[in-house]
Structure 1
Amino acid sequence: MTGTNVQNEAEHSGPSGYAAARLRLLTEGARSGPPRRAALAELTDDWLAGLFTAAAGEVKGASLVAVGGYGRRELSPRSDLDLLLLHDGGDPGAVAALADRIWYPVWDLGLALDHSVRTPAEARKTAGEDVKVQLGLLDARHLAGDQSLTAALRTTVLTDWRNQAPRRLPELQELCAERAARQGELQYLLEPDLKEARGGLRDATALRAVAASWLADAPREGLEDARRRLLDVRDALHLATGRATDRLALQEQDQVAAELGLLDADTLLRQVYEAARVISYASDVTWREVGRVLRSRAVRPRLRAMLGGGKPGAERSPLAEGVVEQDGEVVLARAARPERDPVLPLRAAAAAAQAGLPLSLHAVRRMAATARPLSVPWPAEAREQLVTLLGSGRPTVDVWEALEAEGLISRFLPDWERVRCRPQRNAVHLWTVDRHLIETVVRASEYTRRVSRPDLLLVAALLHDIGKGWPGDHSVAGEIIARDVATRIGFDRADVTVVSTLVRHHLLLIETATRRDLEDPATVRSVAEAVGTPGTLELLHALTEADALATGPAAWSSWRGSLVADLVRRVAAVLAGDAPAEPEPDAPTAAQERLAIEAFRTGSPVLALRAQTEPAADEDPAREPEPLGVELLIAVPDQPGVLPAVAGVLAVHRLTVRTAGLRALRLPDDVDEGSVLLLNWRVAAEYGALPQATRLRADLVRALDGSLDIAGRLAERDAAYPRRRGRVAPPARVTVASAASRHATVIEVRAQDAPGLLYRIGMALEKAGVRVRSMHVSTLGSNAVDAFYVTTGTGAPLPEPDAASVARTLEETLRA
């Protein structure tokens, strides 16, 4: 059915006809995007105009006006109808009756309605008091009734807006900033609000209002396409959910992507992020221009008076060859010739970042349009300017975004396009891949004084995750890309090798320190062989910390930092020529020995709880200590089933295991021959207070003697408190880390963290008949990565076939 036929049906069949026509319009697959929104607005216009005409009767001096999103004809399937009944102040009863005869049919159809009834004076007064109302009226559109009444209101509101712009625009900017602080940045959120988040539809509307003020205008290139893309996604979201929602939740992204004909949810998010980035950048440029114009309006009259009425010229201060500062921005000098100076974009960017100033939009666009490509390999100046830009700290972010907005970054680094706006579906990561790389550069710039080659550190920070745009292990792919990029920008062969090694092994230190036994010589030797030289180790240490800090709060702490530093110290000794010593059992502390003796003599577990804190990850002494949870020290007579018993009891009591260590402790000769298992774990309550130590001990005794049904208790808990549905987690993966230790077999488990996970692992290992010599538990967001050093009953590493069988059985158990 054509749009005209749909309208005719609606006009001749009343509300039911409109509802049927609306439904048909929304289910026509061929009509989507702007055509469907326009058709829906036109259909609704005709229906509401008919309602008004039928209800108005003898009422004169009234009109029906669409405002806000409806005024802009941006009706999504579940959008509110924003309506204003405008009247000249005549018979109040007649106006109220007219309103009822319009509003009630809308409500009867279940449509959301945002309505008001006002005279032009009342509408003008309300707009003057509330900038949100004024924004809605800027998009006022006549639907029915006295058209001159609507036209007069539009003219008045627009005139007021332009006259009051110096006062109202700062107010609007503040509202945008407050909303951004509440909702976050659309271009980085995994579950973004398409309307309210920074870079969303609200900001696009604000830019239209700024343009209407005639005080400043937004960069228009790509802006309308970005707005259209977000509206298309919102349409699909409304159809997929059947609700008036603007939040793109994880569980709905696949369906929304399918509705839009996109490959998958990642493709959807990437398009959303790209649109948000265009709007965010346009907002930055526009609000900066608003501020500049308002400052100039305030300053110029005084300057003119001082200069005898002459028009003052803007002061230009040189920053670099061809680059000057003017009016708080970095612009090109009058003599600059980008078409003859291919290094100019990098020189201007480095100067802007060093000065902490924004790059002028016009300067960036001119360079993007006229600058010649750099020769390959790059000239030395280009490489030096890139390193200067990367080493400028926080100002690098804004300058990099300005270059990226005009396509210059992808021109310098073609591989950048694959990671641009790429989402990271991991709660640990705060940023998209490309922004994470820049955040790592910013963090790495703080460590340039502690390494001998800061240039290599900064370039490796920029490239360390560049392989995430390719299939397979991103570190392996990244090594190849980094080698190519480092060669292209002019590093010699030795430096290229260092950069590619850093990219290949950027996760080596943190993964080894948190998942391997640092006392095992094989652990230290393997890292030393991968790193190769003391200089590379120094750079890798700094890169590891910068990468973790740029990832998010869950990726780094002083505890992790101390483990990495310990590993680096051991590896540095090996690289200096010292052979790693064979591990000797750590002498127990007095407290540990006391617990072990008591456990052996009583034949039952003994435990102690001790609260812990540590300095914050940035080691800022002004900040409060970072809570570590509680240290749980347990001594248990050596017997089967200790690991699953302890893990199960903690899960039953809603305690989250953050780190866990387990080892056998020989008793002093003067006590008795025998062994006690010592567990040193760090735990935290999921919520509420910690349980008492006496309760934990009592349940542990019951778990060890079999009278506590842990599996049943956990099943009851899961049934009573089902977890929120969301994106399906990838299946667990269990591998054997060959050659990781000469003294034990290392089995590594990667799985979705969940209550009882460690209990299930412990039970599976117990059934396999292996002994857990030690373990290293690490949880990052929702991901658990645990390493278990296991042996046979005689204390030897498992034969390869047995190790593979245990890993396979454990993986099947966790996937069941």
Structure 2
Amino acid sequence: MAGSSLSDVVLRGREMLRKGRERCRRQHDGGSRGTQVSTLVSDLYDDLVLEVWNQACADYFDSATPAGVALVAHGGFGRRDLAPYSDADLMLIVRGRSTAVAEKLAQALTRDLVDIGLEVGFALRTPREACSLSWSDPVIFTSLTESRFLAGSLKVFKRFFQSLRHGAVRRGGRLVRDLTQARQEERSKWGDTNYLLTPNVKKSRGGLRDIQMIRWIGFARYGEVDLERLLKLGTLTDEDYRMLRRAYDFLIRLRNELHFRENRAQDVLDRATQVVIAKAWGYKGREGVLPVEAFMQQYFDVTRDVRYAARFFADDNRSRPLIGQAIERIRARRIGTDVLMGPTHIWVEASKLREFSLSLPRILRFMSLANHHNRRIGHHTWQTIRKAMQERQPARPDAESVGAFLSLLSRGGRLAPLLRRLHELRIIDQLIPDFKRTRGLLQFNAYHKYTVDAHCIRAVEVATDFADDPTAMGRRYRRLKDKTLLHLALLIHDIGKGYEEDHSIVGARIARKTGERLDLDASSIEILEWLVLKHLSVNTVAFRHDLNDPEIVIAFAKEVGSIRRLELLIIHSVADLAAVGPDVLTDWKMKLIEDLYLRTRRYFETGDLDADQAELADEIRHQVRECLGDETTAATSLGLLRQIPLSMLRREKPEDLATQLIHVAAALDAGQRTLCFSQYDPIPSAMRYVVIFRQGDTRVGIFARVAGAFMSCGIDILRAEIVTLEDIVWDEFWVSDPDYPDQPPPERLDAVSSRVRDLLDSPDAPLPPRKRKWSVGKKDESETLNVLPTKVDLDNETLDRFTILSLFAYDQTGLLYRVATALSQLNLVLHFAKIDTHLDQVADVFYLTEADGRQVESKERQSQVRQAVLSVISPEDQDSADA
């Protein structure tokens, strides 16, 4: 629609909206409370809607108010807690005979409000239809509970809302169950913990939605949504009411900030915005804590309190069937003098509860009982304990409390939920004081989804879930007679984060101190300290080294020392990795970990790793030879087969490797120097490109050329493995192609393969420029987010033949190509590589030698290599090249 054809009401409305949002922004920037700004936005929306309503009444009804129709704001608009770019949810409630009138008004409202620039949700319903939909759809019910009269017939509105209120209270039990279930489903999408690193301030757990849930449940039970009215009715405690008001204002102000910064509706608090807001709001850092971490710790404190209040309010108002409650009481048996246990719950006798809740040892023993019998703690019991612990002054735990805590840790069951409750009560802080520092502590990378404390407890939960796991990992977990050390190590394994020193080293010191505080024996303390110190070693060896190299496995076995420690460390590593976030523990990574475990265990049991390797390689080569048959290129195929190392032999099925050998041999016999072919690998869900190149005199820079070819196609290398035969380089690359999230079409695969062949066959040709579009779904973030240092380590001790270069850095466009180019320019030969990219981080390992086959030996040469790699990562890191 051209600007000149817009109606006067739209033009006026646009100007009102522009000036109104500017006024709201000034109010916000001036430090006004979130609720004040939100009210100002709601007033602005009211004015715009009524402007259009009045114009429509003038156009169609000579400015008279039409009978039988009521204009209603609902949802956030009805609640009057709009953010600057929120939707305006409107409904016309209409008596049946006024439908034609309502349709004219609806057309004018939707057309003009959208033209003005508002996002409008609109419905036209009779009172009966609106109420009926509310009983069947919890989303509609929650929105309509917040209905507010705007214009039209007040009588129609009152009749509708009275019917809604009375109908809700009659159906209260079912509605509360439906609301709770719908909220659980929403949390599973937006985050079932309030400790998310990039939370949605509206929908994640502990966010605005949970405060709204209290209002909606209040309406279903008592016909009231106002928190103050719920307080007067005695359904909210004074403490929870005050906390919710403070939290509501903080979250509303934060949501307003997000909308103003984006100039659009935005509820996700991403990492870059966290940094900016922390600075703008004046948060100060302290030793070991950045300003952004201080800001987010406050956010997590607020959302944790909201989460608890919302859950308790829901529990209080969720009606368990009377027959179920009766059965629970009738079948309850007494445990000790105070505790009763039914088929599903465990609780403390009401007359003894107050005295009981003041004793930390009794609370810990009670939780251990709940875990041992796999029972839920009764809600009233838990509420009383929660209040008592909030009032309790922290003190060093006595021997009885320590014993009860260790007893709790000794079993799986409901251990993780109980640890979360102990953490919320700050009881873990009293038992392990250093754990307090992890509360709400950010891990500033996209790799981790949770804060340090949430991640640690989640790791315990992953481990306890192994109890019912039919896999080998489940069998190993069940084999552990005493699981106390495993669970304790997982609980504290990242406790050293947030310090300048390596967190594993700091954590190991804290682990020893923790073991002494909990009065563990010397042997247990030593194992606990070792587990925390070495908790990343499985990942380092499995993901970054050649597991077919006996030296690697033997060195790892010596570091571990025994089968018992191996099993503890493997279970710990898998639980830790799975607790990082969804899709981190891939099938490929699990396969590598399992491979490392089996090889190391075999070494402990037989002490003869080399013989097993050679025997296995010979067996696989025999199977491949059987598949080759009498093909015409047998001599070349067999020559290649003899050179292929065990790592490649194990990677392919014998029949698939035979097919590849026939294809490669035929090309090489025909004088072709370069081959590139691809296939989909379902384990990592990625395309795999196999690049084979006859080197001749070209020994340096091959990997860089291939990486450059992929870069120029806009393809992201997720993983790479390099094998050098006598005269053949046989490289494999697992890649992500942003233009084709699923399997690329054949023409795309052919184009990429052709690009690789062209660049290898023409080593002096310049690389084509990379595509501007690099990847999908990655948001550019401030460089200040890269708070973890880049690391470039050179190791000549692990292997006799190669220098191992390990690189940790934040991912950047073309990073692998630049690193490979830097190494080739130093005339270094690349013999093996493992590239591991996850979200925003890379952890790459390269096995290098000088051109004459020697390790990179002198300190000057090592410094030169380190400086060259750092210089292509980011200029800021050059100063730390010799660190």
**8 Å contact kept, 1:509–1:567:** no
One of 820, 841, 845 as aligned partner of 1:787: 845
Counterpart position of 2:591: 559
How far the C-alpha of 1:787 sits from its partner, in A, is 1.6
Counterpart position of 1:437: 456
Verify: 1:379 aligned to 2:399, yes or no: yes
How far the C-alpha of 1:151 sits from its partner, in A, is 4.2
Distance 2:680 2:129 in 1: 62
Verify: 1:235 aligned to 2:256, yes or no: yes
Counterpart position of 1:480: 509
How far the C-alpha of 1:379 sits from its partner, in A, is 2.2
**8 Å contact kept, 1:81–1:113:** yes
After superposing the two structures, state which structure 1 stretch, 30-39 or 118-127, moved more.
118-127
Deviations 1:75-122 (A, max 9, x none): 211223334555677877776777788777755643334445666556
How far the C-alpha of 1:766 sits from its partner, in A, is 1.3
One of 794, 797, 802 as aligned partner of 1:736: 794
Distance 1:144 1:405 in 2: 47
Residue correspondence of structure 1 range 66-215 to structure 2 within 5 A:
66-84=73-91, 109-116=116-123, 120=127, 123-125=130-132, 127-128=134-135, 130-143=137-150, 150-185=157-192, 187=194, 189-214=196-221
After superposing the two structures, state which structure 1 stretch, 21-30 or 585-594, moved more.
585-594
One of 861, 868, 873 as aligned partner of 1:814: 873
How far the C-alpha of 1:57 sits from its partner, in A, is 4.0
Amino acid at match of 2:332: R
**8 Å contact kept, 2:66–2:152:** no
Distance 1:562 1:297 in 2: 49
Amino acid at match of 2:373: A
Verify: 1:681 aligned to 2:705, yes or no: no
One of 815, 833, 839 as aligned partner of 1:775: 833
How far the C-alpha of 1:506 sits from its partner, in A, is 0.6
Distance 2:773 2:329 in 1: 74
Distance 2:679 2:770 in 1: 30
Residue correspondence of structure 1 range 706-725 to structure 2 within 5 A:
706=762, 709=765, 711-712=767-768, 715-718=769-772, 724-725=778-779
**8 Å contact kept, 1:218–1:285:** no
Verify: 1:295 aligned to 2:321, yes or no: yes
SS of equivalent residue, structure 1 residue 703: helix
Verify: 1:491 aligned to 2:528, yes or no: no
Counterpart position of 1:34: 35
One of 707, 715, 734 as aligned partner of 1:647: 707
Residue correspondence of structure 1 range 249-328 to structure 2 within 5 A:
249-258=270-279, 260-262=281-283, 266-267=293-294, 269-291=296-318, 293-296=319-322, 315-318=331-334, 322-326=338-342, 328=344
SS of equivalent residue, structure 2 residue 727: strand
After superposing the two structures, state which structure 1 stretch, 189-198 or 471-480, moved more.
189-198
**8 Å contact kept, 1:744–1:791:** yes
Amino acid at match of 1:75: L
Deviations 1:147-194 (A, max 9, x none): 555444433321111012234333333433443344443635554443
How far the C-alpha of 1:567 sits from its partner, in A, is 6.2
How far the C-alpha of 1:737 sits from its partner, in A, is 3.2
How far the C-alpha of 1:296 sits from its partner, in A, is 1.4
CA 1:350–1:85 in structure 2 vs 1: closer, same or farther (change >3 Å)? Answer: same
CA 1:66–1:705 in structure 2 vs 1: closer, same or farther (change >3 Å)? Answer: closer
Deviations 1:530-581 (A, max 9, x none): 55666544422332232223334334534321443266348848xx999999
**8 Å contact kept, 1:440–1:462:** yes
Verify: 1:244 aligned to 2:244, yes or no: no
**8 Å contact kept, 1:330–1:359:** yes
Amino acid at match of 1:30: G
Verify: 1:750 aligned to 2:750, yes or no: no
Amino acid at match of 2:461: V
Amino acid at match of 1:514: F
How far the C-alpha of 1:234 sits from its partner, in A, is 1.4
SS of equivalent residue, structure 2 residue 167: helix
Distance 2:17 2:104 in 1: 22
Give the number of aligned pairs: 769
Residue correspondence of structure 1 range 357-396 to structure 2 within 5 A:
357-370=375-388, 376=396, 378-379=398-399, 382-383=402-403, 385-389=405-409, 391-393=411-413, 395-396=414-415
**8 Å contact kept, 1:378–1:490:** no
How far the C-alpha of 1:608 sits from its partner, in A, is 8.2
**8 Å contact kept, 2:73–2:147:** yes
CA 1:545–1:83 in structure 2 vs 1: closer, same or farther (change >3 Å)? Answer: closer
CA 1:610–1:104 in structure 2 vs 1: closer, same or farther (change >3 Å)? Answer: closer
Residue correspondence of structure 1 range 37-48 to structure 2 within 5 A:
37-42=38-43
How far the C-alpha of 1:680 sits from its partner, in A, is 4.9
**8 Å contact kept, 1:391–1:442:** no
Deviations 1:748-770 (A, max 9, x none): 22234467543333222111012
SS of equivalent residue, structure 2 residue 835: strand
Deviations 1:241-292 (A, max 9, x none): 111233334554444445554465555555554444444445544555555x
After superposing the two structures, state which structure 1 stretch, 368-377 or 199-208, moved more.
368-377
Deviations 1:284-339 (A, max 9, x none): 44555555x24117887xx9xxxxxxxx9655334567433358432123546436
**8 Å contact kept, 2:333–2:341:** yes
Distance 1:232 1:64 in 2: 28
How far the C-alpha of 1:528 sits from its partner, in A, is 6.0
After superposing the two structures, state which structure 1 stretch, 786-795 or 748-757, moved more.
748-757
One of 454, 459, 464 as aligned partner of 2:493: 464
Distance 1:519 1:500 in 2: 30
**8 Å contact kept, 1:655–1:683:** no
TM-score between the two structures when normalised by the length of structure 1: 0.80
How far the C-alpha of 1:503 sits from its partner, in A, is 0.7
How far the C-alpha of 1:223 sits from its partner, in A, is 3.9
Distance 2:716 2:67 in 1: 70
Counterpart position of 1:668: none
Distance 1:761 1:604 in 2: 28
Counterpart position of 2:538: 509
CA 1:795–1:22 in structure 2 vs 1: closer, same or farther (change >3 Å)? Answer: closer
**8 Å contact kept, 1:656–1:684:** yes
Deviations 1:401-460 (A, max 9, x none): 333344333343333333233344444434332232123223334344444653212211
Distance 1:357 1:328 in 2: 5
Deviations 1:463-512 (A, max 9, x none): 11122244442212212222222222221333222212211111022202
After superposing the two structures, state which structure 1 stretch, 534-543 or 24-33, moved more.
534-543
How far the C-alpha of 1:132 sits from its partner, in A, is 3.5
Counterpart position of 1:329: 345
Counterpart position of 1:415: 434
CA 1:99–1:759 in structure 2 vs 1: closer, same or farther (change >3 Å)? Answer: closer
How far the C-alpha of 1:146 sits from its partner, in A, is 5.9
Deviations 1:765-808 (A, max 9, x none): 11101222333333334422122222222221222211110121
State percent identity of aligned pairs. 24
Distance 1:705 1:771 in 2: 19
How far the C-alpha of 1:811 sits from its partner, in A, is 1.7
